[in-house]
Amino acid sequence: MNEYSSKLLENTVNELSRLPGIGKKTALRLALHILKEDMNYAVNLGKSIIKMREDIIFCEKCNNISDNKICGICSNHKRDENLICVVESTQDVIAIENTSQFNGLYHVLGGIISPVEGIGPNDLFIGGLIRRLSAEKIKEIILALPSTVEGDTTAFYIYKLLKDFDIEITTIAKGISIGEELEYADEITLGRSILNRHPFSKL
Amino acid sequence: MNEYSSKLLENTVNELSRLPGIGKKTALRLALHILKEDMNYAVNLGKSIIKMREDIIFCEKCNNISDNKICGICSNHKRDENLICVVESTQDVIAIENTSQFNGLYHVLGGIISPVEGIGPNDLFIGGLIRRLSAEKIKEIILALPSTVEGDTTAFYIYKLLKDFDIEITTIAKGISIGEELEYADEITLGRSILNRHPFSKL
């Protein structure tokens, strides 16, 4: 005899526990919560998951996930088309959008170069970026990649590809966090924030 | 413009973030994971949630969640029908089943008496327990309720109802946890475990 009195519950617990960070106990808690909520919730949740997976596509321009061939950001004419921010993933797009500090377009690589995980430049959407350079009127490309060995490798790889084009290539600032005490910052970050100092009046 | 480039993604994130302990960021992580997995997973997950919510019922005998009118535990003839363990919820049934120390039947109250939350005896499946006393050949009822004010109140209420029947009424032992140091146990628990001492040879 299984510990669950219901096969239906067991199935849902098994499926939920395949999600990252969700163990069997959490999955059970979630499943029992769904059972307590009214029918509509379970139906909406289940259908939204299936519909999302079946219908979502990648934007042909920026490779971000999208409901249409061209995503809502790329097709928004209020955004600055001269400026492209290169990021690793959709999560990074959402993180930058949440800052409300960027009004340009994005380019989602879909990963970063990682020899350990067997991800090379050809696995990323870098060709699409080169194509955009001729098709669009881009003036500046911001490399907003993680501050790790892999992120730096990827940024340097893209920089080498782009440096002969007539565009400005920038990268996001690295330095101490807002609200951080100097004594607790790590040496490398603090060192970078001294090297990258800028006129006091500028922000 | 919303921070999500896709309405489909946004819907799923909103539905997932209604689950307990799942915030917007976790919901986004789960949704993006579902997008990365193959189509089958999303379909199985979505369908299992809907089917569970639509088809699960409560066992007519013990009130545990079940796929049929009588649950798998109640209909299992290998289990000891003389012994009924009264618990608050399905989670508790699963917790006790996982111990492999109990081979009787259960009775799920569906909550405990809690004046603060407006839950009285009539909101619980206590009537069903009384009916079982005449319909089944029960010799012992174990009260396995939480060791809280509400749990004790509920246990005492049920005890009063049952004490005139010709059955043994027991409660699960309270004491220090296995592997616990005495100096870190709270006074009340340690006190109870001294009061409830039993012959050394008995387990």
Taking only the tens of pLDDT, chain A with its 203 residues reads: 456 778 999 999 999 999 999 999 999 999 999 998 999 999 999 999 999 999 999 999 999 999 999 999 999 999 999 999 999 999 999 999 989 999 999 999 999 999 999 999 999 999 999 999 989 999 999 999 999 999 999 999 999 999 899 999 999 988 888 888 888 888 888 888 888 888 887 66
Partner-chain contact A52 B42, CB within 8 Å: yes
Find where tokens 């407006």 sit: B118
- Closest B-chain CA to A97: B3
As a whole number, mean pLDDT of residues B174-181 equals 87
Is residue B63 within 8 angstroms of chain A, CB to CB?
A: no
Partner-chain contact A71 B1, CB within 8 Å: no
Which pLDDT does position B161 carry in this prediction? 93
Partner-chain contact B35 A56, CB within 8 Å: yes
Whole-structure pTM value: 0.78
Which pLDDT does position B188 carry in this prediction? 87
- CA-based nearest distance B200→chain A, Å: 32
**Percent of residues, chain B, with pLDDT higher than 90:** 76
Residue B1 has pLDDT above 60, yes or no: no
Give strand ranges (E) for chain A.
Answer: 57-58, 65-66, 80-87, 104-108, 140-143, 168-171
What residue spans in chain B does CATH classification 3.40.1360.10 cover? 65-202
Mutant choice from B8, B11, B79 vs A, greatest count of A C-beta within 10 A? B8
B65-202 folds as Dna Topoisomerase Vi A Subunit; Chain: A, domain 2 (3.40.1360)
Instruction: Indicate the CATH number of A7-55 among 3.30.450.20, 1.10.287.110, 1.10.8.420, 1.50.10.20.
Output: 1.10.8.420
Check if the beta carbon of residue A8 is closer than 8 Å to that of residue B47: no
What residue spans in chain B does CATH classification 1.10.8.420 cover? 7-55
> Per-residue pLDDT tens for A28-84?
999 999 998 999 999 999 999 999 999 999 999 999 999 999 999 999 999 999 999
The DSSP secondary structure of A70-105, one letter per residue, reads S-TTTT-TTSEEEEEEEESSHHHHHHHHHHT---EE
Q: Which amino acid is at A144?
A: A
Distances (CA, A) of A60 to A52, A66, A68, A155, B83: 18, 9, 9, 22, 65
Partner-chain contact B56 A76, CB within 8 Å: no
Partner-chain contact B50 A46, CB within 8 Å: yes
- Using CB atoms, pick whichever of B28, B37, B52 lies closest to residue A12: B52
Distances (CA, A) of A14 to A30, B45, B57, B126: 12, 9, 19, 32
CA B21 to chain centre: 19
Is residue A33 within 8 angstroms of chain B, CB to CB?
A: yes
- Closest B-chain CA to A30: B19
> Per-residue pLDDT tens for B49-71?
999 999 999 999 999 999 999 99
Mutant choice from B11, B35, B53, B102 vs A, greatest count of A C-beta within 10 A? B53
Check if the beta carbon of residue B24 is closer than 8 Å to that of residue B13: yes
The mean predicted confidence, pLDDT, of chain B is 92
- CA-based nearest distance A142→chain B, Å: 19
Which pLDDT does position B2 carry in this prediction? 59
φ/ψ region of B107 (left if φ > 0, alpha if ψ in -120 to 50, else beta) reads beta
Partner-chain contact A35 B43, CB within 8 Å: no
ipTM topping 0.90:
no
Which pLDDT does position A192 carry in this prediction? 86
